[in-house]
Every structure is written in structure tokens, then in C-alpha cells.
Structure 1
Amino acid sequence: MSAYRTRLEASVETIRWLLLQGLPFRGHDEKESSLSRGNFVSLLTLLSQHDPEYSKVVFKLAPGNCQLTSPVVQKDIINACAKETTKAILEDMNGGFFAILADESADISDKEQMALCLRYVNKKGEVCERLLGVVHVPNTTSLTLKSGIESLLMEHSLTFSQVRGQGYDGASNVQGSINGLKALILEECPQAYFVHCFAHQLQLTQVALAKKNSDCGWLFVDVLAPLLNFVGGSPKRKEFLREKQAQRVVEALSSGELESGTGLNQERGLGRPCDTRWGSHFKIILNVLDLFPSILESLDKIGEVSNAIDSNKAQALTHLLMSFDFVFVAHLMVSIFGITNALNVALQKRDQDIVNAMAMVDVTKINLQKMRDEG
């Protein structure tokens, strides 16, 4: 019995560490002759090598039917850890009110999964956000999502009457004022005020308005998108850009145009902007303007060594980048996004309050209007 308990403790300690780090357990080949046996077996081996008590009861020294390393045993221990973690969260809430944060996404097997987080004030007066659980939903309609949230809350003896806030993304199935998830929960609990992420909302608003402007749409859709697809679509083309960028940095350092130091002159990339990633459009324009000479040189190099089709694409992109329209619109977008990006960064701070946030919104609007009138 003592050996069984020690063996179980070794497996539990191993699993606890892997869970805290969010690491996978299983390896492709867990045989003793394998060089990569997976994180669980490797960590358990390391633990037994440094603890004489564990080394006496694990692996070969354990009975063949009681090694406590099988996937079934691992899942049982993981479920026990999940229950203990949830129990600690509920005790920390102490039966108080909370807000719910939910989002849905398809997993690798294309099954819709919904994650539910609770936001509450603990016994120490600290604001906490904790994951309550992940539940499978057959579809993403508002009724299905509400049913999934309600079942998950009831599973832990929680009800909608304790909800004092709700937050989701900008999808219509959750934000709809008539049949959306927000409205359905408000019917049961009028105190569950809906709060949209301000920075997220600002980013989506910027993108929506930018797409309506022909010049801005031309910049992102007709110039930057083909450039990112062409240069970023091949490791060889990326390497051309890295080489040209490194050459220019070395030349600037030798001539004294740039200063050397820790964290300075980092390599810049051409990552694709995302409608929901804060500041990504601003960052890509800044990077393109900063790498402008390197990009032109790399396009020339690509045109020299590539086939006729890629060479024509490189020349077409060069003509677009060299045009006055591109340079003017790009610098105009830098000025506009520079104003809104400061607000974006400020709204993402954890210690931001609503009064200060509204004041910063007013300042941003004033600066944009000033740019429109006098810029």
C-alpha cells in the first residue's frame, strides 16, 4: 500500500507540473529505446532519478498492471485536478456575484467548443478572471450557447441570478438586441449588463470604416495584401528581405546613422494584419515604411532570379510601391492610426477606469478632428 501511494504521488506531481505549464503528455513512441518518449514519461524518469523513494517503485520496479502511467490513469488524475481547481475557484468566490465571459471556437476535429470564464472579486478584494470550463456545443446559435452556459453554471451550483455582467466578441449571434445571447440572458437577469471590449470595438470600427474608404481599401487590399502574400509566401523570398535588411542595418551602424545597444535594431517582419488584433494594421504600415528600401531591393533581387511570372509580379509590386499614391496614403494612415493606436494601447491596460477611458476617447476625437481641419 505504501509503494502504491508513493507511485501515485510521483504520477500526480508529474501531471501537476505539466498542467501548470500547459504541456502535452503523450509521446509518439514511448518505448524505452525511444529518444523522445513524451513529456510525462521523460519528466517522471527525471523525477525518479533525483528521488530515491520514487526510484524504488516506478516503471520496471512496479507491477505490470499497476504502473499508473497509462492514458486512462493520466486522464483520471487530470479530472481530479480540474475538480479541485474548480472547487478552489468557487470557494474563492464565496457565493458572491460574478460576470461571465464566453467565446466559441472550433477545435482540431472541427467541433464547436465554448469556453466560459468567470470574473469576480475574491475575498481579498482582488478582481479575478478564472476559466470555469469548456463545453461542446452542436452549433453557435444564441439558444444553444445560452443552454451551454446555463448547464455549465448549474453543474457548479451557480445560477443566472448571480450574474452581474456579460462580455463576448462582436458576433451577431451574441450581440443581437432581439435574439442574441446578450438579450436572452438579460431577460432572465436584467442586472447582467453587457460590456464590449473597448479596444476590440475600436479596432473593429477602424477596420469597418477603413474598408469603406476607397483609398484606404486600395492601400490594404490592392497593395499591402499582394505584397505580403508574395514576399511572405516563400521562405526564399523572406530570406532575400532579411539579407537586405541586415545589410542596411550594418551600413547604418558603420556610418553612425543608428545607435547600437540592447534591444535596438531588432529585425522587422511583414506579418499579416488581423481585423481583431489591436494595432496590427498600424504596425504593418510602420514596418513597410521602415523597410521600404530593403523591400524594393529584395523585389529587384527576386525579379532577377525568379521565373517570368514571379518576375512580373515583383515588377508590378515595385511600381505600386514607387507610386505617389502609395507613399501619400501610407503616411496619411500612419498619422491617423498613430492617434488611435495610443488609445488602443491605453484601453488594454488592466488598471484603466471608465472615467479616464472616456476622457481619452474625447481627446482622440479632438485630435482626429484637428488633423482633419488643419492637417
Structure 2
Amino acid sequence: MEVAYRTQLTTALDVTFFILKQGLPFCGHDESLKSLNKGNFLVLIEWYTQRNVEVSKTMIDNAPGNNQMKSPIIQKDLARACANEVTNIILNDIGGNVFSLMVDECRDNSVKKQMGVVKRYMNKFGCVIDRFLVVVHVSDTSTISLKKAIDGLFAKHKLSLLRLRVQGYDGTSNMRVAKSNRIVSDFFQYITLIVNIVGSSCKRKDKFRQVEHDRLLEGLKKGDIILYLTELYPEDFSLTDRIVLENQLQTYIQNEQNEFSMIQDLESLAMKMVKTGKHIVFTLVYRFIELALVLPVTTASVEGSFMR
């Protein structure tokens, strides 16, 4: 009995893993025996059973009537268990690193309001990672309601507010306040126009990347990087840290300036530092780069994280 149950559970988990990895729905509109389209979960269970003798001995017709392992409740439990495991992997990958939250408002098929949350952080290899974390149903998508939902999210997953550096939002209800200010409204209109113009042409995008690369390269050679960030985040960089950081940066530039021509952006610089172990030698330089990379600087970057 125990072996049969293990086979059933393993089969259901295999099918669940495939469905989740492909981003497919579980249930069909009609899961009755006579249905021609019972949904992905049941169809895959039947397919699996027909092609594996050991599975066929324990599933569907050969399974106990009170232990079919295919009801909608079981499907939801399996999906929820997998979601919890994925969430734990993401949280463990973040560890004690700083991170940012990107929040988008949306509605499901039943027109319920909900909030999608993506976390941005740097992993141990120096790569910038955007991970979809959770969808939370909210009463409305006002700033207060979203904040309350985020507070609950932090409490549930034991996330530290001390490691959070910024929250980025996308959605009309939260942009309405900004648009009430003429100067701020004009700013967002210009940003939108620039993003649309540059993004509509491969030639313009390549030109923009080249200009950004040249600007970054020149800034690295001169040591004239975006250091004012250290003043905005005093909890990360004390007055002493800022002085040491400036000295570390100058030393790092002198040692590595011949390699800067191979650097495309800050992320590739961070990855190179990890690969060569320089992130340990120049800890404050790496911490500064990490902070710069986890900040979503535009609403376009927030939207892009949900489209990946």
C-alpha cells in the first residue's frame, strides 16, 4: 500500500511540475468521465498511465475510490506545495542581500483585484535576478491597500525591512497622484516618449547601448561613478565607509582599468568581480555596485520585470 501511494504521489508531482514549468492551467471546464477535454492535469495523468506499467497499476481504474489523487483540491494542494518550495528557494538565494520590490496591479479572470510582486536582487555570482514571488488578492489597488498587503507578505515570509532598499510600482491608480502634479506628469510623459522612440528601433537601441557603454567606461576610468547614492543610503554607507569607498574605488580603477573595455554594463562588472574574487578584496565597491543594480530606476523596468 505504501509503495502504491508513493507511486501515485510521484506521478502526480511529475505532472504538476511539468504543468507549472510550462505555465499551463490545471483544470478543465468539464472534468467528468465523458468529457473530451478534462484539463491538462487529468489528460497528462491518463497519458502517463498509458505509457508506464508501474503507474498504470496504481492510478485511475486501479486506484482506490477514495484515493484517486486527482481531485481539484488535490491539484491545488500540489500546486501550493510547489509554490512554497519555489518561494523558499528564492528566499534562500537572496539570503542577507539587499533587494527591491516591484509591484504591479492586475485583475484575474473573475475580475478580482490583485497585486503581483517581483523581487530584484543580486545572487552570489553577481547576476541581477528578477523573481516573481507571489500574487496577493487585495480589496483595492490604492497605495494604502498595497502597503498593507506588502506588510503581510513580509511578516509571512519573515523578510527584513532593513534589507529592502526601494519599492517600484506600476499601475494607473498609483500613478494618478503623480499625474496631478504638472511637472511630474510632464516628466513621465517625456520618459514614456523616450522609451517608445528608442524601443521601436533596433538601430536606436544599439546606439543607446553604445552611448551608455562609453559613458560607463569613461566614468570608470575617471572614478566619477554615481557616488551620491552612498549619501542617500547612510545605513549602508557610513561617513567612514564613504571615505574608504573612494579610496577603494581609486585603487580598483588603477588595477583594473585595462580590463574596462571588456565591460558592457555594471552587471558584467559585478560578475567579473565575483569571478576574479575582487568582490572580497573591494567589498565596499561591490556593495555600491550591488545597491545600484537592485534599484528599478523607471516604471519601464518595473513593467519589464513582469514581462520576462
Q: Shorter chain as normaliser: what TM range?
A: 0.5 to 0.7
Contact in 1 for aligned 2:99/2:119 (Cα 8 Å): yes
The residue aligned with 1:125 is 126
| 1:170 Cα deviation from its structure 2 partner | 6.4
Q: Higher Cα Rg: structure 1 or 2?
A: 1
Query: What 5-or-longer segments of structure 2 have no aligned partner?
Result: 179-186, 219-308
Residue of structure 2 aligned with 1:204, choices 192, 213, 222: 192
1:113 and 2:114 are equivalent in the alignment: yes
Match of 2:80, SS state, is helix
Q: Which residue identity is paired with 1:346?
A: K
Residue by residue over 1:216-245, the C-alpha shift from the partner in whole angstroms, topping out at 9 and shown as x without a partner, is: xxxxxxxxxxxxxxxxxxxxxxxxxxxxxx
Residues 177-326 of structure 1: pairs in structure 2 closer than 5 A: 202=190, 204-205=192-193, 279=196
Q: Distance in 2 between matches of 1:61 and 1:164?
A: 55
Residue by residue over 1:144-176, the C-alpha shift from the partner in whole angstroms, topping out at 9 and shown as x without a partner, is: 111111211221111322112332226462585
Q: Distance in 2 between matches of 1:32 and 1:351?
A: 60
Structure 1's 44 and 136: CA in aligned 2 closer, same or farther, altered over 3 A?
same
The residue aligned with 2:205 is 346
The residue aligned with 1:46 is 47
The residue aligned with 2:104 is 103
Contact in 1 for aligned 2:104/2:171 (Cα 8 Å): no
The residue aligned with 2:22 is 21
| 1:35 Cα deviation from its structure 2 partner | 2.5
| 1:51 Cα deviation from its structure 2 partner | 1.7
Q: Which residue identity is paired with 1:138?
A: S
Q: Distance in 2 between matches of 1:48 and 1:106?
A: 37
Instruction: Output the aligned Cα RMSD.
Output: 3.5
Contact in 2 for aligned 1:150/1:159 (Cα 8 Å): no
Contact in 2 for aligned 1:118/1:131 (Cα 8 Å): yes
Q: Which residue identity is paired with 1:57?
A: T
Contact in 2 for aligned 1:346/1:352 (Cα 8 Å): no
| 1:28 Cα deviation from its structure 2 partner | 2.8
Paired residues, what number?
A: 210
Identity across the alignment (%): 40
Q: Distance in 2 between matches of 1:86 and 1:351?
A: 37
1:138 and 2:149 are equivalent in the alignment: no
Match of 1:79, SS state, is helix
Q: Distance in 1 between matches of 2:106 and 2:35?
A: 35
Match of 2:170, SS state, is coil
Match of 2:24, SS state, is coil
Structure 1's 84 and 170: CA in aligned 2 closer, same or farther, altered over 3 A?
closer
Could you say which structure has the greater relative contact order, defined with CA pairs below 8 angstroms and 6 or more residues apart? 2
The residue aligned with 1:3 is 4
Query: What 5-or-longer segments of structure 1 have no aligned partner?
Result: 178-197, 207-277, 280-336, 360-375
| 1:15 Cα deviation from its structure 2 partner | 0.9
Match of 2:103, SS state, is strand
Q: Distance in 2 between matches of 1:125 and 1:112?
A: 35
TM-score, reference length from structure 1: 0.49
| 1:112 Cα deviation from its structure 2 partner | 1.1
Q: Distance in 1 between matches of 2:66 and 2:131?
A: 37
| 1:16 Cα deviation from its structure 2 partner | 0.9
